[in-house]
Structure 1
Amino acid sequence: MRLLSETSFRYPKALSFASGRPYEGFFEFADLHRYLDRFVDDSLARGLPEERVKKAVFQYGPTNGVIRDAVARMLNADEGIHVGPESILITHGCQEAMMIALRGLFASPDDVLLTVSPCYVGIAGAAKLLDIDIEPVPEGENGLEAATLAEVARRVKAAGRRPVACYVTADFSNPSGHSLSLETRRELLEVARDEDLLLLEDNPYGLFCREGEEIPTLKALDTEQRVIYLGSFAKTAFPGARVGYLVADQPVLGGTGDPRPFAEELAKVKSMFTVNTAGVSQALIGGLLAEAGHSLRKATRELADLYVGHLETTVRCLEEHFPQARFPEHGVRWNVPGGGFFLLLEVPFDAGYPALETSARDHGVVWAPMRMFYVGDGGANIIRLGFSSLTRDELEEGIRRLAGFIRASSPRDVDVANPPDRDVANLLD
């Protein structure tokens, strides 16, 4: 990821499909003041003393967080996840939630983390920092498959090791954009039960789909407390707040011998990492949630529609330059997710780091090589396109530049489609 940032820095005029940054067109300074005021007003209206509200914003706060109740209400409204505030831990972004969950779950050198491959680089990096061994679970055509997960878990056990948990993104995964069917989600929960696994469900993009196409999360379907749910407000609100959370309602025995949610035990881990999550940041998110009636799904509908529009624009531009009916001639194809921030593009040449450098330097367009997302080998001729942060005009121009790069890089015996110069925007309206 550092290489992608450095490439974009060296070529500032290049349009970047490399990142998963949210769209910045809705960011307003005035919102920050309004959210903070709303948090204070809402807290006082609920009868909290002013001194306590001041401490929540200005002072070191409780390790578990000060907006757990608001997050619990949001999860109930948006995801049908019914947990109490005591089962929630507020973190510095989802990356810290991953670190805390892994540190709390993996205690023995024989413990193994299973993860879908390709996967978000943050989970692989967190496991590496904590010296946790990873076993990849290769994606199928439509994402993680239950039978493959069961097979890998049994293979790890047969080697005398213990598969503890599997990392999965059920909705519009990063990097592939895949979503799991309702049937697959239920099958994964069955495998988790049969193989005595936990599922670490990461869901940063689940709200960004077409209206009416939502599928229940793994956690919403979880009746046996097999899922630890990882969430963030980076994409739904703004990443500058650095507020995430985890839901861990699994009962464990605390120091007194009484059962308590696993989240409360994980708070001990967080206290050694970051002490607590910044009170000002929590107040901003708390005010946003209060203003939204604790439903981010409703509050982000316009944003979700924009991202779906970005996806449709990207796909239509790709089709204009590389008609799929002529795939045997040009060798370029892509998947079409139902939402989220990313799609995959297969090209007829090695799409590694040297190709990325050429693309940025000579064609003014940056993207992410897929091989960086695999646990082990894979993705040599596939690139990830992130379409979230660009405007529609930038998407159109970016795909035009990308098409030029692909034509220049393809083998000479591949007749890459070169459509006539015309107004692509008219085709997308």
Structure 2
Amino acid sequence: MEYKIASHIAEMKPSAIREIFKVLADPKVIALSAGEPDAASLPKEEMAEIGAEIFANEAAAALQYGMTEGYQPLRDLTKKRMREKYNIGTDDDELIITTGGQQTISLFTQTMIDKGDTIICEGPSFIGALNAFRSFGANLKSVPMDDEGMRMDKLEEVLATTERVKFIYVIPTFQNPTGRTMSLERRRQLLELAKKYDVLILEDNPYFELRYEGEPVPTIKSMDTEGRVVYAGSYSKVLSPGMRIGYCIANKEIINRMVVCKQVSDVHTNLYFQMLVAKYLERFDLDAHIADMCKLHKEKRDAMLNACEKYFDKRVTYTHPNGGLFIWCELPEGYDSFKLCQLITEKKVACVPGNAFSVDESAVCNGFRMNFSKPSLEQIETACARIGEAMQEFLK
């Protein structure tokens, strides 16, 4: 039988990262392709203690349906923490618990985008977001970055010459895939441009608490006085990726519409894990836990930067992120990182080629992404040595 797949889905390609996971079936392959924290940093003992108590005392509640908006204690605790600690959220805002930060991106796009509308994003940008935008028939426009993040001069050029722009998508802090952080001045300029051209901003901020050095930069949402910024947050990078607990803070009107979309998607996020996170926040010190995570991940980041300096061809540049999970490498202009990543795979190391993060996946990209949080210190050293060998062969 011939299946007539919807045109906007038929044109989509599987996530390059998920395809790379197939290579990882070989236990000898060192994965620098992940996007998750070190498993040793996850609070397993605390979660086990809380989980046992939930099933001993509140099993009926944990195993039943819940509210689409989310488990109320978790919503209240998240609102309180984000408002008091980071000045995120106003009296006109509301919060919904989502199934990971990815669902915030999907629900907001579903809420706002008609087929043919335009979304502006950083170039390069997060694969999951790009595919979510494509799945709803959006046109994508990318804006180049430098060490301070998205270039505002180029952004205004796109805004001034592009029709039907609905929102600008940014990952301003420890960006995926580059690890870069948008400067405070750029954040202010971004908000002013959004006001000038009357578009929304989707601020995706899953990594911002994983800071290893430097001073924190205020979120764009914390500077928003018009309800123009939609904030996507997540507990994935600080508690557990597998629990899939995210949240969105936005104007009540937007949240109400997203609730309707969620009701026809998954009804509500896993209630047991919502309860688990809420009770963790009540009982334990999340900030102290994050501080411990940062010590562990900083050691790995430093090890990878040292290994890059030691093994990589001097013509190859790479970012020096102050936090997050990723380092972005760039070959000299004209070289295709996809071909290099194929060669790296032959040496039993997995990286993600830059074209996977591009609006035009078929275009040649000279960048590739490496993750330092998942591999061990020994694996980081070995992997970078192998990548260095591949570079020498490839750059001949």
Q: Same fold (TM over 0.5)?
A: yes
Match of 1:59 in 2: 64
Query: Could you tell me how far apart the structure 1 residues matched to 2:264 and 2:161 are?
Result: 35
Match of 1:34 in 2: 49
Gaps of 5+ in 2: 1-16
Say if 1:268 and 1:367 are closer, same or farther in 2 by CA, change over 3 A. Answer: same
Gaps of 5+ in 1: 42-49, 253-261, 412-429
Deviations 1:103-125 (A, max 9, x none): 1111x334211111110011110
User: How far has the Cα of 1:40 moved from its partner?
Assistant: 9.0
Query: Could you tell me how far apart the structure 1 residues matched to 2:92 and 2:241 are?
Result: 23
User: How far has the Cα of 1:321 moved from its partner?
Assistant: 2.3
Structure 2 counterpart of 1:74, which letter? R
Task: Give matches, 1:238-253, under 5 Å.
Answer: 238-249=240-251, 251-252=252-253
Match of 1:398 in 2: 383
Query: Could you tell me how far apart the structure 2 residues matched to 1:181 and 1:55 are?
Result: 48
Task: Give matches, 1:251-290, under 5 Å.
Answer: 251-252=252-253, 262-290=254-282
Structure 2 counterpart of 1:334, which letter? Y
Task: Give matches, 1:257-336, under 5 Å.
Answer: 262-293=254-285, 296-322=286-312, 327=314, 331-336=315-320
Sequence identity (%) = 27
User: How far has the Cα of 1:391 moved from its partner?
Assistant: 1.8
Does the 8 A contact of 2:213 with 2:322 survive in 1? no
Does the 8 A contact of 1:35 with 1:283 survive in 2? no
Structure 2 counterpart of 1:218, which letter? I
* Alignment match of 2:194 (pick from 192, 195, 214): 192
Match of 1:145 in 2: 151
* Alignment match of 2:232 (pick from 225, 230, 233): 230
* Alignment match of 1:73 (pick from 72, 76, 80): 80
Does the 8 A contact of 1:39 with 1:286 survive in 2? no
Deviations 1:165-211 (A, max 9, x none): 01001101001111011111111111111111111000111011135
Structure 2 counterpart of 1:184, which letter? R
RMSD (CA atoms): 2.3
Structure 2 counterpart of 1:105, which letter? M
Is residue 2:355 matched to residue 1:340?
no
Does the 8 A contact of 1:38 with 1:290 survive in 2? no
User: How far has the Cα of 1:87 moved from its partner?
Assistant: 0.5
Match of 1:370 in 2: 354
Query: Could you tell me how far apart the structure 1 residues matched to 2:32 and 2:91 are?
Result: 39
SS at match of 1:265: helix
Q: Normalising by structure 1, what TM-score?
A: 0.82
Structure 1 counterpart of 2:67, which letter? P
Does the 8 A contact of 1:63 with 1:270 survive in 2? yes
* Alignment match of 2:165 (pick from 163, 166, 179): 163
Q: Normalising by structure 2, what TM-score?
A: 0.88
User: How far has the Cα of 1:333 moved from its partner?
Assistant: 1.9
User: How far has the Cα of 1:235 moved from its partner?
Assistant: 0.8
SS at match of 1:199: strand
Number of matched pairs: 376
Query: Could you tell me how far apart the structure 2 residues matched to 1:243 and 1:386 are?
Result: 22
Match of 1:385 in 2: 370
Query: Could you tell me how far apart the structure 1 residues matched to 2:306 and 2:59 are?
Result: 51
Task: Give matches, 1:100-115, under 5 Å.
Answer: 100-106=107-113, 108-115=114-121
User: How far has the Cα of 1:145 moved from its partner?
Assistant: 2.2
Match of 1:95 in 2: 102
